[in-house]
Amino acid sequence: MKSTLLEDLKVELKNHIDDLYQTDMPLVFGDGNPDSAMVLIGEAPGKQEVQKGKPFVGQAGKNLDQFIDILEIERTDLYITNVVKLRPYKVNEDTGRESNRTPTKKEIGIFSAYLMRELEIIMPRLVVTLGNIALKCILQDDKASIGVLHGEPAQTKFGAAEFSLFPLYHPASIIYKADLKDVYLQDLHKLKKYLKEMKIKE
Ligand code: URA
């Protein structure tokens, strides 16, 4: 059963990370239907994701939910995960406030081995990467760029998992760059058509 294999993988990853950081690290694992033909991959959880223990439940998650509505699919039919399963953050020395930061190459390296195994269990037909970090990780190409590859499906392999890759901008990017919204909507409509072609959605 895929769910049992994923549970075992979670335990293994949690032990690995707790050993590495020498503390009980709050991790956010993938969530959703492991039998789904389609997997969505983000970058890393934020504060709200850690509090709720689920990916994409904060502001970026709200944007993602709107995109999923455009695709006319149910979130519960999907499997959603992140490259990095801990929250990368920095602390402002003056105010003591925490803010999210981009994961380091080292963090991505540690977690991508587990993402590979996660996908090898699920064996999706389609992977939708959200943003640059997930795209570079799946293509194992640091030079890959979402600005160039967004909205263009490609066949790819990640470990033993082979699937169609559909790169989308990260849903948080339209919070900061409003001019991306039109491009994002066009990409979503291409994805909707592609889901029909692949018979993932009727
Ligand atoms: N951004 C991500 O990439 N993943 C989340 O889970 C939340 C925000």
**Domain for residue 150, yes or no?**
yes
Report yes or no on 201 lying in a domain.
no
Residue 202 pLDDT greater than 80, yes or no = no
Give 133 Cα–ligand 1 centroid separation in angstroms.
11
CA 157 to ligand 1 center in whole angstroms? 23
| Gap between the Cα atoms of 173 and 150, Å rounded | 13
Instruction: Identify which of 27, 52, 56 to mutate to test ligand 1's pocket (most ligand atoms within 8 A of the CB).
Output: 56
CB contact at 8 A, 157 and 146: no
User: Which two three-digit tokens encode residue 17?
Assistant: 């990370």
| Ligand 1 and 171: CB distance under 6 A | no
Mapped onto helix, strand or coil, the DSSP state of residue 14 is helix
Contact (CB, 8 A) for 131 and 42: yes
Three-class DSSP category at 88: coil
* Confidence band for 175, pLDDT divided at 50, 70 and 90: confident
- Domain interval for residue 127: 2-196
- Provide the residue type at 161 as one letter: A
For residue 159, the SS3 value is: coil
pTM over 0.85: yes
CATH of the domain at 187: 3.40.470.10
| Structure-token pair, residue 79 | 């499997």
Return d(Cα 109, Cα 112) in angstroms, integer: 5
The finding on whether 55 has its CB within 6 A of some atom of ligand 1 is: yes
Average pLDDT (6-13) is 98
Q: For position 103, what pLDDT does the model report?
A: 98
Atom of ligand 1 nearest to the CA of 133: 3
**Residue 30 in contact with ligand 1 by CB distance below 6 A:** no
Distance 172 CA to ligand 1 centre (A): 8
Could you tell me if the CB of 56 is within 6 A of ligand 1? yes
The pLDDT tens digits for 44-83 are 999 999 999 999 999 999 999 999 999 999 999 999 999 9
Please state the atom number of ligand 1 nearest to the C-alpha of residue 49.
6
The verdict on residue 171 lying in a domain is yes
- Mean pLDDT of the 121-140 span: 98
The verdict on the CB of residue 132 being under 6 Å from ligand 1 is no
In a domain, 140, yes or no: yes
CB contact set of 172 (below 8 Å; sequence gap of 6+): 59, 60, 63, 131
The number of distinct structural domains making up the chain is 1
Q: Which residue, among 137, 185, 45, 79, has the nearest Cα to 168 in the 3D structure?
A: 185
Q: What DSSP designation does 162 have?
A: E
Q: Has residue 22 been placed in a domain? A: yes
Q: Among 31, 43, 83, which is best to mutate for testing ligand 1, by the most ligand atoms less than 8 A from CB?
A: 43
Strand ranges across the sheet with 154-158 = 31-32, 79-82, 38-42, 126-130, 161-168, 154-158
Report if residue 187 sits inside a domain. yes
60 touches ligand 1 (CB under 6 Å): yes
**Does 202 map to a domain?**
no
User: What pLDDT score does 148 carry?
Assistant: 98
Do the beta carbons of residue 88 and residue 107 sit within 8 Å? yes
